[in-house]
């Protein structure tokens, strides 16, 4: 059969929850268009039930992931970069369509996203050295502070940077041993949903990253109020939604990473994602455990708090 007569096979985009690819529990989809308003695909519209299922999966995966060695987590993140490198052409097409970029500019974005995975992979076994250590105290004690992951983190992905910004908010969360429930950009969800396929074919355990798509406010509201979500990154929320979610998050004292001030277009995610990321996002979802222990070989057991 000639190519002229062959029917194209359209991709079915699905959610990524618990290492599997379910359709939305609601059965709903919505149209995703390119920068010119042309139809690209139908994306699943996640429901509150999908959000709750994602939290359950993230909590189930937390023990094993946080208990893995930092070196092992670094290897896993590097493997994600490897798999993304192998599917570069697909992501170039999706980023170009989602963000209205030329092929060359989209390729640069994908390269930067791959490099960002590698960068965070290198930090997994080093962040403890700069965020913990021995503390000077007046007394015959050792006083040591060590960082530990916060837990389940809900992440609202940037609204405009469909891949580089997405990777920049996911990678630091899981690099430090947290698990994530990610709400993809409602306008440009396709690279995020395809990233789920990369994660599934790498060494990331199921449930460590869960990706939802749909109306951000509709999905984020139950996540912010969920008692088993320990922290929330509000990067992809506008000012009004961020305020609403922060109030909801206060009910169980969630750690909240606030969005940057809105740009001229009202978008809160005005970050230059191509800039060097620094360690801010690595430390944003870490807790510090301090342990006291008497000096001397026969001292009593220390206490921690």
Structure confidence by residue, pLDDT tens digits, 25-80? 889 999 999 888 999 999 999 999 999 999 999 999 999 999 999 999 999 999 99
**Do the bridges between strand 141-149 and strand 152-156 make them parallel or antiparallel, or are there none, so unpaired?**
unpaired
Whether pLDDT at 156 is above 90 = yes
Angstrom distance (rounded) from CA 91 to CA 166:
13
| Confidence grade of residue 270 (pLDDT, cut at 50, 70, 90) | low
E strand intervals along the chain: 29-33, 39-44, 133-134, 141-149, 152-156, 179-183, 209-212, 231-233, 255-257, 286-294, 303-304
pTM to 2 decimal places: 0.88
**Do the bridges between strand 39-44 and strand 29-33 make them parallel or antiparallel, or are there none, so unpaired?**
antiparallel
| Confidence grade of residue 191 (pLDDT, cut at 50, 70, 90) | very high
Give backbone dihedrals phi and psi of 146, rounded to 5 degrees, phi first. -130, 140
Comparing 26-30, 104-108, 150-154, the range with the smallest average pLDDT is 26-30
CA separation, residue 130 to residues 27, 124, 125, 137, 278 (Å): 46, 11, 10, 19, 12
- pLDDT at 304 (0 to 100): 43
Whether pLDDT at 264 is above 50 = no
- In order of their start, the domains of the chain are 19-304 (3.40.605.10)
Residue 51 near residue 181, CB atoms below 8 Å? yes
Whether pLDDT at 189 is above 60 = yes
């Amino acid at each position: 059969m000639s190519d002229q007569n062959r029917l194209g096979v359209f991709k079915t985009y699905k959610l990524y929850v618990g290492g599997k690819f379910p359709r939305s529990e609601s059965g709903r989809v919505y149209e995703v268009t390119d920068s010119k308003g042309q139809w690209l695909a139908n994306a699943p519209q996640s429901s509150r039930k999908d959000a709750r299922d994602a939290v359950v999966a993230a909590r189930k995966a937390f023990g094993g992931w946080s208990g893995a060695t930092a070196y092992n987590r670094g290897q896993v993140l590097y493997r994600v970069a490897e798999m993304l490198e192998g599917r570069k052409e697909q992501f170039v097409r999706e980023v170009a369509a989602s963000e209205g970029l030329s092929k060359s500019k989209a390729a640069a974005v994908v390269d930067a996203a791959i490099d960002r995975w590698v960068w965070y992979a290198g930090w997994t076994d080093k962040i403890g050295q700069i965020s913990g250590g021995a503390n000077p105290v007046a007394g015959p004690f050792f006083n040591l502070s060590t960082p530990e992951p916060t837990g389940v983190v809900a992440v609202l992905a940037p609204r405009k940077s469909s891949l580089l910004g997405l990777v920049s908010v996911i990678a630091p969360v899981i690099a430090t041993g947290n698990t994530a429930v990610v709400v993809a950009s409602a306008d440009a969800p396709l690279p995020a949903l395809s990233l789920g396929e990369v994660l599934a074919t790498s060494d990331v355990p199921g449930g460590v990253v869960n990706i939802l798509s749909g109306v951000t406010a509709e999905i984020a509201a139950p996540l912010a109020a969920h008692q088993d979500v320990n922290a929330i990154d509000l990067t992809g929320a506008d000012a009004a939604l961020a305020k609403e979610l922060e109030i909801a998050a206060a009910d169980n004292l969630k750690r909240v990473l606030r969005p940057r001030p809105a740009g001229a277009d009202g978008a809160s995610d005005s970050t230059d994602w191509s800039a060097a990321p620094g360690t801010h996002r690595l430390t944003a979802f870490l807790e510090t455990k301090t342990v006291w222990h008497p000096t001397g070989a026969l001292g009593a057991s220390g206490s921690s708090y």
